[in-house]
A and B are shown apart, each in its own frame.
Chain A
């Protein structure tokens, strides 16, 4: 069954590509929700490299780490979106260029 092999570097390349897209989106986006989604994209890229290395070294600890990364991402998404809602409620905008003061 396990006849097909894929080089490890392909997974690393895809992971790096996802991470680079996340960084690019983080830099060029001006909508705060899009910036948040770029962060999620970066986390996904790192997860892919974790799983690829776990498969390469036959080590299950990599998958456990992916699990923890997902937990942290879920917590971060919940808190971050709550912050976004609070910011939008006080400022009526989602553009990060107009959110330049911590205090209103």
Chain B
């Protein structure tokens, strides 16, 4: 279901951004079917919301057009696509061969937000705090990187 949309992602930046949003929405539905409501909600909010807005914003900001093909990209396409196809077919064969008939019940995971909060704030408290520090550092780094370098070079930047 996400795969059909996914093939559309091999085009131009804004088109691939939109199809990536579709893939993420489909994945959120998949998580919901698996019974992971919390992960589905976070997927919609964080990925389909925040990250994709960031992507579309940068695409608009940088005025990204269609990509041109160079000789290097032709070589990459010629070698990469058949290699990926054979690799994925091999992986699929191995997975289908070695996995039995065990199946996942739809909607049977006890993944209520209450249990997740218990686990997240009790057993995984230290990693949670570390991720908060990581997010803070990422915000500061993004601000520093994206700010105009006026202090170093006096010339008028865009």
Contacts and interface: CB of A to CB of B under 8 A. Distances in A.
A binds B: yes
B109 A21 contact: no
B154 to A, nearest CB: 15
B23 A13 contact: no
Interface string A4-30: 111111011110111011011101111
Interface residues of B, number: 85
Given A29-B73, A74-B46, A75-B134, 8 more contacts: A6-B33, A7-B104, A16-B92, A56-B102, A68-B131, A73-B46, A82-B143, A95-B67
Interface residues of A, number: 68
Given A33-B59, A61-B119, A2 B102 contact: no
A30 B69 contact: yes
A55 B34 contact: yes
A17 B84 CA distance: 10
B36 A54 contact: yes
A52 B110 contact: no
Interface of A: 1-2, 4-9, 11-14, 16-18, 20-21, 23-25, 27-31, 33-34, 36-37, 40-41, 44, 47-48, 51-52, 54-56, 58, 60-61, 63-64, 66-68, 70-79, 81-86, 88-89, 94-95, 97
A17 B23 CA distance: 12
Contacts, number: 233
A68 B101 contact: no
Query: Which of B6, B72, B115 is most buried by chain A, counting CB atoms within 10 A of its CB?
Result: B6
The 6 closest A-B pairs by CB, nearest first: A75-B138, A82-B145, A5-B103, A27-B80, A82-B142, A9-B99
B62 interface: yes
A70 B145 contact: no
B145 A51 contact: no
12 contacts: A5-B103, A17-B88, A21-B9, A24-B81, A31-B64, A44-B47, A67-B38, A67-B42, A75-B137, A78-B139, A79-B142, A81-B146
Contacts of B23: 18, 41, 44
Contact of B87 (A20, A25, A55): A20
Contact of B13 (A21, A31, A56): A31
B55 A33 contact: yes
Contacts of B134: 71-72, 75
